[in-house]
Amino acid sequence: DVDSPFVYHFCKYIIEDDRNFYIFPLAKLFFQEAKSREEAFYAVPPTSGQRLFRAVHHFRPDKALEIGTGDGLSTIYLATAMLSGDLFSIEPNSKQAAFAKKRMEQLGLPNVEITHASPVKAVPLLLTELEPIDFVFFHQTTPGKTIEGLFDLLLPGLSTQSVLVLSGIHQTPEKRATWETLYK
């Protein structure tokens, strides 16, 4: 009952897809581990992570950008779903960036580059390597004002087929206001 081809494919292949991909059980363990360390705020919950994985798997980006690596759980979903292509992830928190880098090395994910930097400073530099960017994921820890500023920086590097995912957009009043601003 959907007229838009994009929304139809999104519902069918991402929301309603119930396949259990190989990374899901391991990612669920990592989420439980994050909860036990009281760092669940940085970890993407399994349902959201699985939808993120399915979106990347469906759209098959060649170049993806993650703003806010957090503990690396979203990075795992993104990188394992890509099949080919490269994922660049920017994390402003040095502790989280180091933790995520170590986790990617342990998992042997070669298509991931994690940068510890301010996203506002790193994105213009990365655009020269990434353009066009096929897929952008904003982690739930990314502040609304940062999302707004990055959106303007990213626009020239996006194509008409690029997909942007904003996680936790209804998390705070600030994030809801960001969504309203971007939606217009």
Q: Which residues of the chain form beta strands (DSSP E)?
A: 63-67, 86-91, 112-116, 133-138, 158-166
Cα-based distances in Å from 129 to 52, 63, 84, 86, 174: 23, 9, 16, 11, 31
Report whether pLDDT(97) > 80: yes
CA atoms within 13 A on the CB side of 48: 17
pLDDT band at 1 (very low <50, low <70, confident <90, very high): low
Two tokens, residue 146: 């940062």
Sign of the Cα torsion 24, 93, 83, 107 reads negative
Report whether pLDDT(33) > 70: yes
Length of the chain: 184
pLDDT band at 40 (very low <50, low <70, confident <90, very high): low
Instruction: Return the percentage of the chain with pLDDT > 90, whole number.
Output: 57
Looking up tokens 């899901």, which residue turns up? 24
What's the pTM value of the predicted model, to 2 decimals? 0.91
Q: What 3 state SS string does 104-154 have?
A: HHHHCCCCEEEEECCHHHHHHHHHHHHCCEEEEEECCCCCHHHHHHHHHHH
Two tokens, residue 29: 């363990």
- Average pLDDT across the chain, whole number: 90
